[in-house]
Each structure stands twice: as C-alpha cells, then as structure tokens.
A and B are shown apart, each in its own frame.
Chain A
Amino acid sequence: MRIIIVDDEMLARGVVREYLSEHADVEVVAECANGFEAVKAITELSPDLVFLDIQMPKLDGFEVAELAGSKTRYIFATAFDQYAIKAFEFHALDYLLKPFSQQRFDQALAHARANMGKNDGAIEQMVREATGRNKPLGRVLIRDGAKVHVINADKIEHVEAQDDYVQIRSEGKSYLKNQRMTELEEQLDPEQFLRIHRSWIVNIAFVDRIEQATKDSYVAILKDASRVPISRSGYQKIRAVIQ
C-alpha cells in the first residue's frame, strides 16, 4: 500500500512514520509539509492512502482534499478542531485525534484498508460544507494539473458558466474550475459580486458603465473593455448599485 504523509510539523510526521513501520506492506511514497506540496504529490503519485493533517499553512486539510479529489482514501488528523471533528463524525470518515496511540492508528489504517476503493461521496460533501463555512469566500482555489492557483476574490473580474465548469477571469488570465455557477455565486460576497446573467457574474468594482445593446437589452462594459451581457432581471440588480 502506497501512502503519503501530510503534516506541517516534522515531529508529527515522525510519529506517523514510526507507527507505519510496524506494517511491512506499507510504502511511504512522499512526505509533505504544506498543502501545495500535498496536492502536487497526490495528483502525481496517486497514492492509495493519504494521512492528512487539517491545520496547515496556505491550504488546510479540507482544501487539500477538495483540490486533490477523492480518488484516494484519506485519514484525517486534528489536535482540537471542533468543527472538523464534527464533520468527520457526521460523514463517518476516518480520523485521528492528536496525540494518538499505535492501537488507534492501526484501527484507522485497518478501516481504511477494508474500505479501499469505495467512494460514497462523503468527502466531496464534507469539503463543500467546509468551503461554505468560510462565506464570503476571500480566495478561490483552482487546480491546474498538479499546480494550485490561489485567486484573491478582490481580483476576480468576472465569472462565466461553461457547462459543469466556471471560467474565472483575473488579472488578464482565465482559469477553469470544476464547480457549478450557483454554488460559486452563493460563496462569493453578494456586496461585491452580482449575477447579472444566467451564465455571468461580475465584480461590481470592475464595471465601468452600462450600455444599451439593442432596444431592450443591455451590456456591461468592464474596465478592460470586455463586454458582459445583462439579462432583464440582472439589469434591475445592477441598476440598484450602479447609476
């Protein structure tokens, strides 16, 4: 079994390594000290199991699981994150409370091993809830292959729906994220972002002016001169904030 250990504390990684040495069939393929490394390693090495700490710099455990996907099995660990513990309990996920014993660790490992390959969508659901907890979203995370882009919400100019994806425009670049438009709309700050069309969200700060396109349709002209269509209900919304 191929395992990746993710924890920002060296000593904490040491404990896991030590406990794993009791299991002959286990191979530690990578050790990661932060979320970015973890997403990269999980994407590139596709391990069977990831031992994942929740409290980490840059990206926390939830975000790593969200970005790296649920193809692999996770054992989460936390010292005292009440929210996380509740979430693990609720979704019946394998987790460990630090500090943990060899017995407790072996139990979690055996459970993960027995359920290898099963995916009931619990992790997707949990990470979605965890993202929703941080409303309004201050930054949007996008995985591009093994690389993670962190986009500050203030710098998002507009978002366009494209089937199951959303295309996010920021600082002259476009990013594709696997997310539904409505979900992203709910997570963004409603004071800052307006859904002016079924498939468009704009950042109010980047709207330069509104122009009439045809007899009864309008278009928003953004600061970079790009044009975003406005629906009838969207026009009501944007007129309320822009004169």
Chain B
Amino acid sequence: MQEISSTRQGLITYLLVWLFLGCALGGVISVASGTPLVNALLFAIPMNLVYAFESGYSAYYLCRAYPLGSRRAASITLVLSVAALVSGFLWLLIGSLWNSLCLLPGVSWAGIAFTSQLSLLLVGLGTLLYGFAAALHYLVIEFVRAKGAEQRELESLLMAQEAELRMLRTQIDPHFLFNSLNSISALTSQDPKAARRMTLELASFFRQSLGMEAHKKVTLGEEMVLIRHFLAIEQVRFGERLQVVELMGEGAAECLVPPMIIQPLVENAVKHGICNMPEGGTITISAHRAGSILNIRVANPVDEDMSSLRSEGHGIGLTNVRQRLSGAYKHEAGIQWGRHENSFGVDITMPAQTSEQGE
C-alpha cells in the first residue's frame, strides 16, 4: 500500500479501479434484483471505496509479514484465505450497516432490499477482491525489490570499477617508482637540469593517472599523453636502449578508450621486453580505426634466450586488461597476445566510439 500510495498517480489509478468495480457491483445488483440503479450505485460505490482501503491495508501488512519464498506456500495460502474470508464477512457487516443508514432518512433514492443472495454475493466478492489485493501487493513488492536489486547491482559494479582502477594506480610498479627515484638521485649531481625534467615528468604522469575516473572513458590521444610521460621517464633510465615508434592512424586518437588500458601494456613491454635485453630495442605502439572498429597493437622485442619462464608476470596484467575490456564492451571487444619468434605483441580490438553512448 505504501508503494502504491507513495505516488499520486498510483493512488488515483488504484482508486479508479475500485470505483469501476463499485459501478460494476451496482450494475449487477440493479440488474439482478430490479432495484433502481441510483439506489444500487449509492450502496455499491462507497462500499467499494471503503473496501479499497480496508482490504488494501490489511492485505499489505499481511503480505509484508508473510513475504513470498520465506515461508511455505501452504501456510501463506491458509493465512490469506482465512484473512480473505474474515474480510469478506466484515465487508458484509459494513454493507448492512451502510444500508440501514441509507434507509433511515426514508427517501426513495437511498437504500436497497438486502436479500440473502446479496449477502452471499458480498462475502464471495469480498473474499475474491481481498485475494486480488493480496496478489497485487505481492507483485508490487517483488517489483520494487527487483528494481532495488538492479540498482544495487549497478552501484556495486560502479564501485568495483572504481576500486579496480584505484588498484591499478597503486599497482604502478614499485620498481618503476624506486628506479626512477634512483635515476633522479644520480642526475642531481651529474645533470641537475635533467633531474628536474625527470621530476616534472613523474609529477605529470602521477597527476594524470590519479585524476582518471574508472567509468569515464578517455580519448586514445589522452591515454597516449600518459604513455609518453611514462616512456619519457623510462628513457632516462634506459637511455639508448629504449626506442619507441608510434603509428597513429587517422581518427584513432579521437576514439574513446577505458582509462589506463594501454599503459599497462606499454609498462609490460618495458619490463618484460626491453629490461631483459642488454642492447635494448624498439617498442611499437600502433592504432588504426577501420570503420566502427578500433585496432590497437603494442609490440616489443623479447630476448631469444628468454624462455616462457620469466614472462609469467605478463599474464596477470593482460588478464586484468581483458577483464576491464569485457566489463566495458562485453563481447564487442577482444584482446589477443602471443610471441612470434623474437617479438611479443598484444592486439586489442574494440568498438570505435567518439562519444559516450548510452552511458
């Protein structure tokens, strides 16, 4: 009842239904017993409106007290049947009282002949309507609950996404942080200007990555800015050993991607590729838009002596990216990785979107 009467529209609809039922009952009485329609309606409509609240509230509290699924169906049916029957008789009592009240003034347009047939009809109809009211309440309660659950699920999904990104941020490899600090420590005496440049790059990298929100997609261009900061820092560490090639196709930079989806791939490329090669190598980051599809590839050379053994760390980061992609695009996005001779590549395929659609 609370749910129904909480909105004006719901309450009006509910009362209109009962008004209609009242008219119908009046019609039936008039036809069946030959009573004038006015008398029949004057009797039936107030009766129904009263019953709207009586059965409505009574059934509502019963439905609340006996929620579906919490008890055995048999006990719920029994309780409701008894309540419906009692309510039906109560309605009969109200009916006869109301009729006596109508007869009191002695006017011709009020009051009807109260036959035993009518009594039976009232009890039967009252029981039935009570049953309908109960069914309606169960429906409404379930509907509200389902809606609430959906809402909660959505909220928890959002929270999970946020938490995941937060984790990714804190997951920023501590090796990266401490090695960068070590480079700065070295540069302060060898090349103070370079030390300052490096702290600025670090600041930009952390500021941008900390400012990202999980559910807000960024353009590939913005993601690339973050990656360039990251690579600039790593280039101070690795010097000539780390070379980067960027191949951005037309329109690719404007496409939206989940934040920090490419950066972990580049980080892996440095950590598992360049880091293990005494002579270093070139990391290639390419993105191409083909119609409604965006293809992104990150490739790095790997040391020929490197067995699969030491590249285990690859798996965790990649699985994380895969999960985030499927969370954002379901089956529309895919990620594949593999080693081909002395090169390791990760390919992402995702829908090319330039505006947040339906979000």
Q: Taking beta carbons and an 8 Å cutoff, which residues of A are in contact with B?
A: 8-12, 14-15, 18, 33-34, 36, 55, 57-58, 79-81, 97-99, 134, 138-139, 150, 152-153
| Cβ A15 vs Cβ B186 within 8 A | yes
Listed by A's residue number, 13 A-B pairs whose Cβ atoms lie within 8 Å are: A9-B182, A11-B190, A12-B186, A15-B182, A15-B186, A79-B175, A80-B174, A80-B175, A98-B179, A98-B182, A99-B182, A99-B185, A150-B305
Residue of B nearest to A16 (CB): B186
In the complex, what distance in Å separates the CA atom of A153 from the CA atom of B278? 22
- Which applies to chain B's interface (DSSP): helix, strand, loop or mixed? helix
Set B183, B189, B307: member contacting A9, Cβ < 8 A: B183
Minimum CB–CB distance from B280 to chain A (whole Å) comes to 9
Q: Which 6 residue pairs spanning A and B have beta carbons closest together?
A: A138-B309, A138-B307, A79-B178, A11-B186, A99-B185, A98-B182
Task: List residues of chain B with CB within 8 A of the CB of A57.
Answer: 275-278, 303
Minimum CB–CB distance from A176 to chain B (whole Å) comes to 21
Question: Size range of the interface on B?
Answer: 20 to 34
Minimum CB–CB distance from B322 to chain A (whole Å) comes to 25
Interface window among B92-100, B158-166, B235-243, B248-256? B235-243
Q: Taking beta carbons and an 8 Å cutoff, which residues of B are in contact with A?
A: 174-175, 177-179, 181-187, 189-190, 236-239, 275-278, 303, 305, 307-310
Task: List residues of chain B with CB within 8 A of the CB of A10.
Answer: 239
Task: List residues of chain A with CB within 8 A of the CB of B175.
Answer: 55, 79-81
In the complex, what distance in Å separates the CA atom of A33 from the CA atom of B238? 11
Residue of A nearest to B194 (CB): A11
In the complex, what distance in Å separates the CA atom of A18 from the CA atom of B309? 36
Minimum CB–CB distance from A77 to chain B (whole Å) comes to 9
Task: List residues of chain A with CB within 8 A of the CB of B181.
Answer: 98-99
Task: List residues of chain B with CB within 8 A of the CB of A55.
Answer: 175, 275
Set B174, B237, B310: member contacting A11, Cβ < 8 A: B237
A11-B275 contact, Cβ under 8 Å, with A57-B303, A134-B309, A138-B308: no
Residue of A nearest to B241 (CB): A8
In the complex, what distance in Å separates the CA atom of A79 from the CA atom of B175? 6
| Cβ B303 vs Cβ A11 within 8 A | no
Task: List residues of chain B with CB within 8 A of the CB of A80.
Answer: 174-175, 177-178
In the complex, what distance in Å separates the CA atom of A214 from the CA atom of B213? 75
In the complex, what distance in Å separates the CA atom of A58 from the CA atom of B274? 11
Set A8, A11, A36, A58: member contacting B182, Cβ < 8 A: A11
Task: List residues of chain B with CB within 8 A of the CB of A81.
Answer: 175
